[in-house]
Chain A
Amino acid sequence: MKHKSKIVLVTAIGSLSGDIVIKNLINCGYKVIGCDTHPKSWIADAYNVNKFYQVPSSYEKNYLEVIIDIVQKENVGYIIPLTDPEIDVLNMNRTCFNEHVCLCISGENTIELCRNKLKSYNYLSSQNICSTIITFNKSSINFDEISFPVIGKPIRGRSSEGIMIFGSKELLYEFLITEKADNFVFQPFIDGKIITVDIIRDAEYNKCYTIPRRELIRTKNGAGTSVYVFYDKSFDTVCVKIADALKVDGCVNFEFIEDNKTGERFFMECNPRFSAGVKFSCLAGYDFIINHLNCFIGKQIDELGTYDNMYIARKYEEHITEKQNIRSNNQL
């Protein structure tokens, strides 16, 4: 019996990538069930999906149970999670879905490798395919090998949350004696510009395409709002090698930092999900959303044609999601 459902559950639709994910899926004839931790009236895109569910945070015990309920109730065929913590939970509970639904994320080991910054560093630095930033954890930190300032990042962080900068050995020592430091990695601070790469890989068809962009203006959460999309053949080759080494499936995004002094591009991380700015790459000419889904159902992904280098700026739009006529209620 072949899998036939064209119903997609997109989680965390309040995320920046939610809008383009929903639009492209609906344009392609998919029925989209959306969910988010916030109430419907707080999420503009909750009105653009076929059905919306408010769900607990993925940190809550009943998150998985609620997602499974939605999947069963709505006959969901595919799940596309948009945030890292949800990916962590779903990745660890794949067997709950295997029989019923296609979880559209990379393989279990790939997710673990991408989500753990120390494992990513150890693995990729051993592959010699890209420049990596020397990374330590609390127990391995070597003060002779690391220059200050030092940047501390949660080992399984999300959206630049919890990042700390230590200007001196003393400040870092002070932090290292805390329990919190157990869940951090430490790297030398590099002054540079962020480059995000949307990348799609289909191992079965041996296809892999990338669209990089320089993030010109970024929010504190690390989302680019003004970007420069460009093409660079040698950089594409490096990114494809990384994707192959990580055994990426579908669309993910890489973040690099380009050293202001040397111009060297250091791999920072692979986020195993759509980037917040995946719409930039879609505007540049490649539908990463539908092709991501195609990677999981055996359909060949589109070729990436040539595209122009371009500046793209994002603007926000306001929507009234719910009106409450309090004045007339009071008059009654």
Chain B
Amino acid sequence: MYQVLDKNKTKPDEIIAFLNSINDDFPVPLNRVTDIIDYANKLLKFGDLFFIKNDSHIIGIIGGYNNDVENRIGYISILFVLSNYRGKGIGTTLLETFIETSIKQGMNLIHVNTNRKNEEAIRLYKGKGFVLRESGNVSEYTLIRQL
């Protein structure tokens, strides 16, 4: 059983290094979309971030925001598990942790955008009650879950 850790158990450099290491595993590399350092700092400052380690190395991460208190809408910005560790329930554990946090923080709804070809992720979200919606973007779906 893996233990879920929150952002207080890490340092920005560790998150930045992890994001850099998985950069090319995204359909569009993360560093082509945004500045990874700024992205990590923003998540750490304003978001909720959880991760799972094995032998002191991060193997899975989930991050997003539950700070839209006016609209009570949470957002998952990133969910990633290293390929060697997939199929072991790590993504599910991380997702459940994030959903619980969203509920605790008073969110009524949570959403995530994912690449249309990322069937594994879509299956994971659907398995946790997310419903597929057209995002208006040709390469992405939005998945929504009422809380």
Q: Are A298 and B43 in contact (CB under 8 A)?
A: yes
Complex interface: chain B residues within 8 A of A102 (CB): 42, 45-46
Selected contact of B67 from candidates A109, A205, A298, CB within 8 Å = A298
Proximity bits, A201-225, B CB within 8 Å = 1, else 0: 0011110000000000000000000
Nearest to A110 among chain B residues (CB) is: B35
B75 adjacent to chain A (CB < 8 Å): yes
B34 adjacent to chain A (CB < 8 Å): yes
A297 adjacent to chain B (CB < 8 Å): yes
Proximity bits, A288-315, B CB within 8 Å = 1, else 0: 0000000011111000000000000000
Q: How many A-B residue pairs have CB under 8 A?
A: 64
Q: Are A247 and B34 in contact (CB under 8 A)?
A: yes
Complex interface: chain B residues within 8 A of A249 (CB): 34-35, 38
B41 adjacent to chain A (CB < 8 Å): yes
What total of chain A residues lie within 8 Å of the partner, measured CB to CB? 22
Complex interface: chain A residues within 8 A of B68 (CB): 299-300
Q: Are A107 and B38 in contact (CB under 8 A)?
A: yes
Q: Are B33 and A203 in contact (CB under 8 A)?
A: yes
| Given A2-B46, A297-B67, A299-B68: A205 and B75 interface contact (C-beta under 8 Å) | yes
What residues of chain A have their CB less than 8 Å away from a CB belonging to chain B?
1-3, 98, 102, 106-110, 203-206, 244, 247, 249, 296-300
Complex interface: chain B residues within 8 A of A297 (CB): 42, 45-46, 65, 67
- Complexed CA–CA distance, A102 and B34 (Å): 16
Nearest to B30 among chain A residues (CB) is: A203
Selected contact of B65 from candidates A1, A107, A108, A298, CB within 8 Å = A298
What total of chain B residues lie within 8 Å of the partner, measured CB to CB? 25
B47 adjacent to chain A (CB < 8 Å): yes
Proximity bits, B60-103, A CB within 8 Å = 1, else 0: 00001101100001010100000000000000000000000000
A sample of 27 inter-chain contacts (CB < 8 A) reads A2-B45, A2-B46, A2-B67, A102-B45, A102-B46, A106-B35, A107-B34, A107-B35, A108-B37, A110-B35, A203-B33, A203-B34, A204-B42, A204-B75, A206-B113, A206-B137, A247-B32, A247-B33, A249-B34, A296-B46, A297-B45, A297-B46, A298-B42, A298-B43, A298-B46, A300-B73, A300-B75
Q: Smallest Cβ distance from B20 to chain A, in angstroms?
A: 14
Q: Smallest Cβ distance from A270 to chain B, in angstroms?
A: 15
- Interface pairs A-B: 8 shortest CB-CB: A107-B35, A298-B65, A203-B34, A298-B46, A3-B45, A297-B46, A203-B33, A204-B77
**Restricting to B97-119, which residues have a CB under 8 Å from any CB of A?**
113
Q: Are A204 and B35 in contact (CB under 8 A)?
A: no
Q: Smallest Cβ distance from B136 to chain A, in angstroms?
A: 9
Proximity bits, B7-33, A CB within 8 Å = 1, else 0: 010000000000000000000000011
Complex interface: chain B residues within 8 A of A106 (CB): 35
